[in-house]
Structures are given as C-alpha cells and as structure tokens.
C-alpha cells in the first residue's frame, strides 16, 4: 500500500471511487472542488494505492476547534467497500492522517462521527 497526494491524472478514478461509495460526482465537479485546497498548506487530499489501483481517498484539514486551538480532522474518506481489506486500508490511511497532523503541529480532533448520530 502506498499513500500519496492526489494528482490531476487521478481525478476521474477518484470520482469513480466516490460514486461507487454512494456520492455521485463527476471528474469535472471534483476538479473544481479540489481547486479550493490547491494552495492551502492546512489541507491535504491523498489517495491510497494498492497494487497500482486507487482504493481510498482522504481529505484532511487543520482548522480551529472547540476542543483545541488547532486540530486536524478528516473532512472526507472514501474507500472501496468491495475490497476485502477495506477496514485495514482505512486504518492505514487514518494513521497517515495522524502523522500528517503531527507534522503540522497539531493532533486529530476528538469528536463524534456525524454518521453515528
């Protein structure tokens, strides 16, 4: 498994992954949305490749928080659930996110996943 920044050549594969996980979006829409983060050092959009195939996508950002002055949070996480390794892939990617946050001088935010409400 390899984590790296999302590249322009990945846009259509990332949009297809998002669609497979239930969020119907096209490459042009995703490309437009990614422009918001292009030059912001406090946000990252990364992909996880497995055997040369994009299998997960994560958007992480650092913002002010109610629990800390600055905290990193996962804004979006998409993983191909048909992949038998989906849980391990998400765990690996979240570990990457924690390391990324530490490198940027903060921790991950603590909170409740809105999907659990």
* Mean pLDDT, rounded, for 89-101: 92
- The pTM score is 0.85
Q: Is the pLDDT of residue 117 over 80?
A: no
pLDDT given at position 9: 92
Residue position matching structure tokens 């299998």: 55
Lookup: tokens for 25: 């979006």
**Paired sense of beta strands 43-50 and 71-79, if any:** unpaired
CATH of domain 2-116: 3.40.630.30
- Using the predicted structure, report yes or no on whether residue 95 has a pLDDT greater than 60: yes
């Amino acid at each position: 498994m390899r984590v790296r920044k999302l590249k322009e050549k990945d846009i259509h594969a990332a949009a297809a992954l998002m669609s497979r996980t239930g969020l119907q979006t096209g490459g042009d829409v995703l490309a437009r949305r990614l422009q918001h983060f292009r030059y912001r050092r406090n946000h990252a959009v990364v992909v996880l490749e497995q055997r040369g195939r994009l299998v997960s996508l994560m958007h992480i950002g650092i913002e002010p928080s109610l629990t800390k002055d600055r905290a990193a949070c996962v804004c979006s996480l998409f993983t191909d659930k048909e992949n038998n390794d989906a849980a391990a892939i998400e765990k690996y990617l979240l570990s990457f996110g924690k390391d990324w946050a530490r490198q940027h001088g903060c921790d991950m935010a603590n909170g409740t996943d809105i999907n659990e409400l």
